[in-house]
Amino acid sequence: MDMYKKGDCLTVTIEDLDTDGQGIGKADGYTLFVKDALVGDVVKVKIMKAKKNYAFARLEEVITPSSYRIEPKCEHHRRCGGCQLQCLSYEAQLAFKEKKVRNNLMRIGGFPEEKISEVMQPIIGMEVPFYYRNKAQYPIGTDKKTGKPVAGFYAQRTHDIIANTDCALGVSENKIILEKILAWMEECRVSAYDEITHNGLVRHVLIRKGFVSGELMVCLVVNGRELPQIGKLIESLKEVPGMKSISLSVNRENTNVIMGTTIRTLWGNDTIEDTLGGIKFRISPLSFYQVNPVQTEKLYAKAVEFAGLTGKETVWDLYCGIGTISLFMAKNAGKVYGVEIIPEAIEDAKGNAERNGFTNTEFFVGKAEEVLPKFYERVSREGDTKGALFGEQIEENVSGSDRSLRDAKQATDMLHPDVIVVDPPRKGCDVQCLDTMLKMQPKRIVYVSCDSATLARDLKILCEGGYELKKAVCVDMFGQTGHVETVVLLSQQKPDDVIEVEIELDELDLTSAESKATYAEIKDYVLKEHGLKVSNLYISQVKRKCGIEVGENYNLPKSEDSRQPQCPEEKEKAIKDALEHFGMV
């Protein structure tokens, strides 16, 4: 076979979609990736970039359309980078997303197909897969032909703006607001930012809407301290029904980061309010808040269901943002601890908890991958929850009456919670964070993921550490795109090659040393004095190390080469202290 090269045109049948939704076809065994082509399409394509074994090709013509192909709602869908699947029927979109998650769990996570079929629940789709975004960030540029300001979205893999003020995924108010801003820019000769020269004023426009409250927020991101005749714009935007906040974000850096570090309110409130699952949230321009509120309620309801809360549990919520998942959990948990790296988000989380009357939550600033390991090491070593890791944060956040509760039991509850919830960014969890989660031994881990590839990678680590995949469900939060959220439940498992048997003392042949304290008494002492929970297996292991005879059949593995959990160092020290206390060593 002669090598295909750039510029070659050929006809192929599309056989599959890749993880980004690009069509995959073959010509004489040579693989072609074709954007906007669907499974079942017979298409004419032009090779744009050729490699030895594959090429990227541009769709030139659909010769025979797939049965899944539909007429797209937006005329810009092929040029704009926002929607990858708008020409694919919604039922087929859901099937594609579910298949992508299943394949990643099998290929990257190493789970058998039978296991995935057993745990996967049907994907939760949208009733209306358009007009669902409560947030939009529009880049502002200059039309090269007319010289007029334009707003829209970047073409895929470029920073060329496709002019479009009426995105089919956003709310109707976006168009009204953008047209007012563009008219003001043209009338008052306010320049658009130029990424090449770094000149010009207006870079982006951020618009947020509360779906329940109807409140609107506009934030202009600008390359300067002031804007000319800003009063005219404010008066114009105030006319939009629901407008509650108009602000300015200064970003003078040569960067692709959209928002600046400071926000200045020009008119109205600093925040808008919205309700999610009966809980009111205050949202600032910088707040992380899920963009699809209708599906978010379904997503979080699944997370709460998987957590199996009864009202008594201790829960850690890592990557908690403004406390959305935390407060959903707090409605049914005993205590919820949230961790988030962004200080402003934590302040929002505390405020949201207070306004909604929650008294069983605490929020702390820090990276989850740093917070959890540092907290675990210090508390397990010193039994100190007040100063451990959070330092003065706990002193500031906890009242005098609450401080009295920070005893050994609370330390144990924090160290070994019932549930850990993680909702990490696309890169997934840091390995140090995963390792500490395994040390903390929660009964259940609920993992909310926006990237099933990193989810599968992390699940493999957690399952190798003693957890079992119990449930999984996809939730379509982003119709017309290739993205999908996944919620999974992991539970502690007892591996087949480990046996832990609870045996009453009267069933054992006790040595004189053993008779001085029961296993239950040792457990109670360790919990009270060190804030640690220890198993009979760990106690028997430490006894053997100290030369204390243990009944010969006590917690032995099935075979010599079987894997047994080994007592962690901090727990070994605590058990030895108990043995000394009872005069057994």
Catalytic (active-site) positions: 450
7 bridge partner residues: none
**Distance separating alpha carbons of residues 564 and 462, to the nearest angstrom:** 17
Distances (CA, A) of 83 to 38, 339, 536: 14, 33, 56
**Distance separating alpha carbons of residues 431 and 224, to the nearest angstrom:** 41
List the structure tokens of 165. Answer: 């003020």
* Chain centroid to CA 503: 42
DSSP per residue over 353-365, as a string? Answer: HHHTT--SEEEEE
What is residue 530's DSSP assignment? H
* Chain centroid to CA 451: 8
CB distance 85 to 61 below 8 Å: no
CB distance 107 to 99 below 8 Å: no
- Number of helices (H), then strands (E), in the chain: 16, 22
Reference 416, options 502, 303, 515, 492; nearest CA is 492
List the structure tokens of 18. Answer: 């890749």
**Distance separating alpha carbons of residues 197 and 200, to the nearest angstrom:** 9
What is residue 481's DSSP assignment? S
CA geometry: angle at 318 spanning 316 and 319, to 5°?
150
The beta strand positions in 109-148, using DSSP E, are 120-124, 135-142
CB distance 376 to 436 below 8 Å: yes
Beta strands 335-340 and 361-365 are: parallel
List the structure tokens of 434. Answer: 């995963």
Q: At what angle do helices 536-545 and 519-530 cross, to 10 degrees?
A: 90
561 φ/ψ angles, rounded to the nearest 5 degrees? -95, 10
**Element housing 402 (H / E):** helix 400-403
**Distance separating alpha carbons of residues 527 and 42, to the nearest angstrom:** 68
Sign of CA dihedral 410, 412, 415, 421: negative
Sign of CA dihedral 513, 514, 515, 518: positive
Q: For the chain, first and last CA: distance in Å?
A: 79
**Exposed (0-12), middle (13-18) or buried (19+): which is 506, by Cβ within 10 Å?**
exposed
For residue 86, the tally of other CB atoms under 10 A from its CB is 25
**Distance separating alpha carbons of residues 31 and 52, to the nearest angstrom:** 10
315 bridge partner residues: 336, 419
**Distance separating alpha carbons of residues 68 and 40, to the nearest angstrom:** 8
**Distance separating alpha carbons of residues 334 and 361, to the nearest angstrom:** 9
